[in-house]
Amino acid sequence: MALRNLMYNAYQRDLKGEPHPVAAPPTPQPAPRKQQPPPPPPPQHRKKPSPAAVSQESAELQQLLSLRQQGILTQEEFESAKKRLLAKA
């Protein structure tokens, strides 16, 4: 029914010689903001291990490697122990 009324009104305007209504121009939409990536995390400052701690870690790594080469430790066990040892540092 609404379309019929619109068509009738347009026909009546044409008969009277009235100009057609012009749709309002679309309002400009603001440009979408680009999301900026989050800032990088601050650098982590780790304390340098003391020379004694380094030599102890080195000795333990050598011992793990020796056990691995002798077949006492599997590769998975060696990797796990090495990760734990290095995580302590």
Where along the chain do its domains lie? 50-89
**Per-residue DSSP letter, 73:** S
What's the pLDDT at 38?
82
* 26's tokens: 């679309």
Alpha carbon distance 32, 65 (integer Å): 57
Alpha carbon distance 64, 83 (integer Å): 11
Q: Is the Cα torsion angle 84, 86, 87, 89 positive or negative in sign?
A: positive
Q: What is the pTM of this model?
A: 0.41
Using the structure block, give the residue that is written with the tokens 């044409």. 14
What's the pLDDT at 60?
87
Question: Which residue has better confidence, 47 or 74?
Answer: 74
Which pLDDT band, with edges at 50, 70 and 90, does 48 fall under? low
